[in-house]
Amino acid sequence: MAVSTESMKSLYLPKLAEVLKVEPLSEKEKLFQLRMKDGSRLSHKPGQFVEVSVLGVGEAPISVSSSPTRDGSFELGIRAVGNVTRALHRLQPGDTLGIRGPFGNGFPVSELLGQDLLFVAGGIGLCPLRSMVQYAIDKRGQFGKITLLYGCRQPAEQLFQGEIAEWRRRQDIEIMESVDRCPLDVSWGGSVGVITTLFPRVDIEPNNTTALVVGPPVMYRYVVAECLKKGIAKDQILLSLERRMKCGMGFCGHCQINNVYVCLDGPVFNYEELSKLKETEV
Amino acid sequence: MGIFISSKIDFRSSVQKMIQYNVVYGVKRKTPSFAFAKLFGSEELCLDYDITVLPPNRYLLPPSESLLRFNLIPEVSVRSSAEFQASIILGIHPYDLHAIRLLDAVFTGSLVDLNYQARRSATAIIGVDCLNPWPYSFAASMGTTLPPRIFDLWLTDLGDEYLIEIGSSKGESLLKRYFMTRDASEAQLRQRDKLRQESLTKYQLSLAMSPQEIPEILDKGWNSPMWEELGQKCFACGSCTMVCPTCVCFDVRDKIGLNLREGERYRSWDSCMFDAFDKMASGENFRPTGTDRLRHRLHRKGKYMLERWGELGCVGCGRCVHACLVDIASPVYAYNRLAKEVK
């Protein structure tokens, strides 16, 4: 007897989405605004990710960069670095791609209500964090003091420059920026040095502050050390981990750290949990 | 549900009938080993084997299978696409059935993998007791010499006849349809118990502890010098994982047709022992050395799968012990040595 799954609903089946807008963020990153073709909403939580398909090339896990509080579309900030992301960079408005998800736990939004938020973004780490920054801005009254530290290698690599300029103008968010180095012919109003050099100037109330940290793996150890120095409790330091999530559902095995699946149990973990794992970067 | 007896002559003709009307995968001699393959005649079936090169789980999770098909022109469209024949797997040993029970937990838990589930429910399982294990097996130590009750029919070789136990209604209808049987006697049941008991003395490898102690021993032995000593010899060839009945990790890729209009997304077996398994597009690799990867694999088998799915990831078949080119893959060696080190 022949069996076919053609009419069945598979979790591997992406929904189709239309590219509404493509906007360069820097030399290597672009921002894609997308909308589901069937009119459904993504209904994600800040900090969750989706599996993005360029059919014929492949699928890659990408964090959602926009807040669910914004309209029916959603945004993905993507660096062209592998096969799929390079193919994504060739897409134009009107093109179709596939979306599965949202996957992962996302930031624990309800636990963050009433808290002071210390965002720490390294480079492309601002893409996932932006979903939570926007969320906190849209529901500004529900959160305490908001501080954002943003570090890049050099000024030209700073993402969302227009939006950051708007945030800077707001009185209810403190923004501190750094670059590892600044070419002599570029004007730069922030600090020069790695992101941890911003910490001495950070003024927070540690008992009521949650740190939300996203950046390259190498950044975490140093930023966590600074957060601990500031007196923030281990379980109040949240980090989002990057792994090679192929299925997003705990089957394929690629994102496993010890007995934890980043796609299901993460990508957001608090430092208390991570410090118990032997295989992490922190 | 009942236990029956079939003479070996009757059994052969039953299998012949079954092959006529079904796709049957059974154990064949493939000198000097044995392998599961499609049966075309009952004379090909060899049930008194010691081990097959590959475990039968490839009929549930094939080495490569289509997940979905897509069209790019004129409009982008996509649909799930697994196509296969309902089948009977004939001759599964108890340890391999324990592995399938673990696969069931992985793929049909809170999230259901459609491909696996569809294949699994279209598959009948007829197993057989392993009365003569091969020298690399340590199934007796792992407690996997008796079949978990997820079989449809279960056979025991009593010499001139097979004892046949029914495990499900699917098995019962197979029995009624194809087999000539009579009721088994008390004496024949006692003979089965005796044969099973005797087989336990034939295992040459054994664990120096109970399987329940493995997770704790691994926990204590994380920093053992053994990992480096074994891991630095690893070729990252993936043999140990390819022959493993509980390995489930896979890679997902797209293939586009020559007409550039249509294509498919498929998955194929992957291995956590390959050096690029944990490598990301950015170049970051979270388990860059053989030592990291060997430690991960043996933790997955002896600890992580148990914690996540309630079953140990090692059933003691010994295939990896035999397959490893540099003799570093053996779980029984690693667990025994760690036990000695940490006590």
Q: What is the DSSP string of B27-93?
A: EEEETTEEEEEE-SSGGGB--S-S--SS-GGGGTS-SEEEEEEEE-SSS-EEEE--EEE-EEEEEE-
Burial grade of A254 (CB within 10 A; 0-12, 13-18, 19 or more): buried
What's the CATH number for A15-103?
2.40.30.10
From the list B83, B122, B281, the residue facing A82 with the nearest CB is B281
Is some CB atom of chain A closer than 8 A to the CB atom of B80?
Answer: yes
Contact of A1 with A74, CB cutoff 8 Å: no
Ramachandran bin of A171, using left for φ above 0, alpha for ψ from -120 to 50, beta for the remaining angles: alpha
Calculate how close chain B gets to A168, using CA atoms only, in Å.
31
Structure confidence by residue, pLDDT tens digits, A99-136: 999 999 999 999 999 999 999 999 999 999 999 999 99
Last residue of a domain, one of B177, B202, B227: B202
pLDDT at B130 over 80: yes
pLDDT at A8 over 90: no
What radius of gyration, in Å, describes the C-alpha atoms of chain B?
22
Calculate how close chain B gets to A258, using CA atoms only, in Å.
7
B228 and B154, same structural domain? no
Burial grade of B187 (CB within 10 A; 0-12, 13-18, 19 or more): exposed
The answer to whether the Cβ–Cβ distance between A55 and B250 falls below 8 Å is no
* Residue A4: predicted pLDDT: 84
Residues in chain B: 343
Percent of chain B with pLDDT over 70: 100
B108 and B37, same structural domain? yes
Contacts of A79 (CB under 8 A, 6+ apart): A28, A29, A85, A124
Extract the tokens encoding B250.
């896979």
- In whole angstroms, give the CA distance from residue A257 to residue A167: 36
B141 and B172, same structural domain? yes
Beta bridge partners of B64: B268
- Phi, psi at residue A210, to the nearest 5°? -110, 130
B215 and B198, same structural domain? no
What is the crossing angle of helices A161-169 and A126-138, to 10°?
A: 40
Contact of B329 with B301, CB cutoff 8 Å: no
Residue range of the domain that includes B124: 3-202
- Pairing between strand A15-24 and A29-36? antiparallel
Contact of B145 with B325, CB cutoff 8 Å: no
The answer to whether the Cβ–Cβ distance between B84 and A12 falls below 8 Å is no
* Residue B47: predicted pLDDT: 97
- In whole angstroms, give the CA distance from residue B139 to residue B130: 10
- pTM over cut 0.80: yes
Tell me which of A91, A251, A274 to substitute to probe the interface with B (most B C-beta atoms closer than 10 Å).
Answer: A251
> Pick from A27, A202, A212, A59: which is nearest to A128 by CA?
A212
B147 and B217, same structural domain? no
B246 and B181, same structural domain? no
* Residue B277: predicted pLDDT: 94
- Phi, psi at residue B198, to the nearest 5°? -65, -35
- In whole angstroms, give the CA distance from residue A53 to residue A15: 9
Contact of B154 with B128, CB cutoff 8 Å: yes
Last residue of a domain, one of B172, B202, B232: B202
> What totals of helices (H) and strands (E) does chain B contain, helices first?
13, 13
Structure confidence by residue, pLDDT tens digits, B176-231: 999 999 999 999 999 999 999 999 999 999 999 999 999 999 999 999 999 999 99
> Pick from B323, B331, B321, B314: which is nearest to B99 by CA?
B314
Beta bridge partners of A260: A257
Encode B270-283 in three state secondary structure: CCCCCCCCCECCCC
B33 and B126, same structural domain? yes
CA of B296: which chain A residue's CA is closest? A258
User: How many domains is chain B built from?
Assistant: 2
The answer to whether the Cβ–Cβ distance between B83 and A259 falls below 8 Å is no
Looking at chain B from residue 221 to 260, which residues have their Cβ under 8 Å from any Cβ of chain A?
222, 248-254, 256, 260
* Residue B1: predicted pLDDT: 65
B246 and B143, same structural domain? no
B218 and B196, same structural domain? no
Last residue of a domain, one of B168, B202, B236: B202
> Pick from A47, A21, A15: which is nearest to A33 by CA?
A21
Contact of A190 with A179, CB cutoff 8 Å: yes
Count of beta carbons in the 10 Å neighbourhood of residue B175: 22
Chain B positions touching A11 (Cβ under 8 A) are: 111-114
B198 and B296, same structural domain? no
Place of tokens 């493995």: B214
DSSP state of B258: T
Q: Which helix (H) or strand (E) element contains residue B123?
A: strand B123-128
Structure confidence by residue, pLDDT tens digits, B142-168: 999 999 999 999 999 999 999 999 999
Contact of B35 with B52, CB cutoff 8 Å: yes
B217 and B198, same structural domain? no
- In whole angstroms, give the CA distance from residue B283 to residue B280: 5
* Residue B227: predicted pLDDT: 97
Burial grade of B143 (CB within 10 A; 0-12, 13-18, 19 or more): middle
- In whole angstroms, give the CA distance from residue B25 to residue B85: 11
Is some CB atom of chain A closer than 8 A to the CB atom of B194?
Answer: no
Mean pLDDT in residue range B170-175: 97
From the list A11, A98, A257, the residue facing B113 with the nearest CB is A11
The chain-wide mean pLDDT, for chain B, equals: 96
Beta bridge partners of A51: A61, A100
Beta bridge partners of B29: B34
Contact of A203 with A188, CB cutoff 8 Å: no
Here the ipTM equals 0.92
The answer to whether the Cβ–Cβ distance between B300 and A243 falls below 8 Å is no
Mean pLDDT in residue range A173-179: 96
- In whole angstroms, give the CA distance from residue B265 to residue B80: 9
The chain-wide mean pLDDT, for chain A, equals: 95
DSSP code per residue over chain A? -EEE-TTS--TTPPEEEEEEEEEE-SSSEEEEEEEETTS------TT-EEEEEETTTEEEEEE--S-TTS-S-EEEEEE--SHHHHHHTT--TT-EEEEEEEES----HHHHTT-EEEEEEEGGGHHHHHHHHHHHHHTGGGS--EEEEEEESSGGG-SSHHHHHHHHH-SSEEEEEEES---TTS---SEES-GGGGGGG----GGGEEEEEES-HHHHHHHHHHHHHTT--GGGEEEE-----SSSSS-S-TTEETTEEHHHH-SEEEHHHHHT-SSS--
Structure confidence by residue, pLDDT tens digits, B219-273: 999 999 999 999 999 999 999 999 999 999 999 999 999 999 999 999 999 999 9
Return the domain boundaries, chain A.
15-103, 109-240
- In whole angstroms, give the CA distance from residue A188 to residue A183: 9
The second-level CATH assignment, the architecture, of A109-240 is: 3-Layer(aba) Sandwich (3.40)
B95 and B222, same structural domain? no
The answer to whether the Cβ–Cβ distance between A3 and B118 falls below 8 Å is yes
Chain A positions touching B77 (Cβ under 8 A) are: 16
Ramachandran bin of B315, using left for φ above 0, alpha for ψ from -120 to 50, beta for the remaining angles: alpha
pLDDT at B282 over 90: no
* Residue B238: predicted pLDDT: 96
